[in-house]
Amino acid sequence: MKKYDFDRVIDRRNTSSYKWDNPMYADKKMLPMPVADMEFAVADEILEALDKITHHGVLGYSIVPDSLRLLAQKRISEEYQWETDLEWQVWLPGIVPGITLACDLFSNEDRGVLTAIPVYHPFHLIPTWLNRPLITFPMVEKAGRWTYDFEAFEKALQQKPAVFLFCNPHNPGGTVFNQAEIDQIVSLCQQYDCMIISDEIHADLRLYPQSNHICIGRDIVELPSISFFATSKAFNTAGLGGCVAIIPHQATREAFLKKTFGYMPMLSRHSIDVMSATYQHGSNWLSQLIPYLKQNHDILLDFVKQQPGLDMIPLEATYLAWISYDQTWGDLPNRLLEHGLHVLRGEQFKGKNFIRLNFACPKSQLEEACQIIASLTH
DSSP 293-326: HHHHHHHHHHHHHHSTTEEEPPPSBSSEEEEEE-
Among 64, 95, 194, 286, binds ligand PLP (CB under 6 A): 95
Residues 279-338 that bind ligand PLP (CB under 6 A): none
Q: Going by C-beta distance under 8 Å and a sequence separation of 6 or more, which residues neighbour residue 25?
A: 32, 342
CB of 140 to ligand PLP, least distance (A): 20
Q: Which of 199, 204, 219, 316: binder of ligand PLP (CB under 6 A)?
A: 199
CB closer to ligand PLP out of 113 and 310: 113
Residue 35 C-beta: closest distance to ligand PLP, Å: 7
96 touching ligand PLP, by CB under 6 A: yes
CB-wise, 204 or 303, nearer to ligand PLP?
Answer: 204
In the complex, minimum distance from the CB of residue 79 to ligand PLP, in angstroms, rounded to a whole number: 18
CB atoms under 10 Å from CB of 85, counted, come to: 10
Work out whether strand 163-167 and strand 113-117 pair parallel, antiparallel, or are unpaired.
Answer: parallel
How many residues belong to the site for ligand PLP (CB under 6 A)? 14
* DSSP helix, strand, coil percent of the chain (3-state; round to 5): 40, 15, 40
Is position 373 an interface residue for ligand PLP (rule: CB under 6 A)? no
**How far is Cα 354 from Cα 333, in angstroms, rounded to an integer?**
9
Angle in degrees, CA 7, 12, 14, rounded to 5: 165
324 forms beta bridges with: 311, 354
Taking the C-alpha atoms of residue 367 and residue 371, their distance in angstroms, rounded to an integer, is 6
Instruction: Please say which residue, 4 or 120, places its beta carbon nearer to ligand PLP.
Output: 120
CB of 90 to ligand PLP, least distance (A): 14
Residues 240-269 that bind ligand PLP (CB under 6 A): 241, 243
Q: Does 156 bind ligand PLP (CB under 6 A)?
A: no
Give the number of other Cβ atoms within 10 Å of residue 117's Cβ: 14
Helix (H) or strand (E) holding 97: helix 95-106
Q: What Å distances lie between residue 183 and 140, 180, 218, 227, 239, CA to CA? A: 18, 5, 11, 16, 34
The site string for ligand PLP over 29-68 (x = CB under 6 A, - otherwise) reads -------x--------------------------------
The nearest distance, CB 110 to ligand PLP, in angstroms, is 27
Stretch that binds ligand PLP, among 70-78, 91-99, 134-142, 267-275 (CB under 6 A): 91-99
C-alpha–C-alpha distance, residues 318 and 294, integer Å: 10
Smallest separation, CB 268 to ligand PLP (Å): 13
Site string for ligand PLP, 115-154 (x = CB under 6 A): -----x----------------------------------
Beta strands in 69-133 (DSSP E): 89-92, 113-117
Contact residue for ligand PLP among 135, 189, 238, 272 (CB under 6 A):
238
Bridge partners, residue 355, by sequence: 323, 345
Give yes or no for a contact between 105 and 255, defined as CB atoms under 8 angstroms apart. Answer: yes
Selected from 38, 39, 68, 94, the binder of ligand PLP by CB under 6 A is 94
- Which residues bind to ligand PLP, rule: CB under 6 A? 36, 94-96, 120, 167, 171, 199, 201, 230, 232, 238, 241, 243
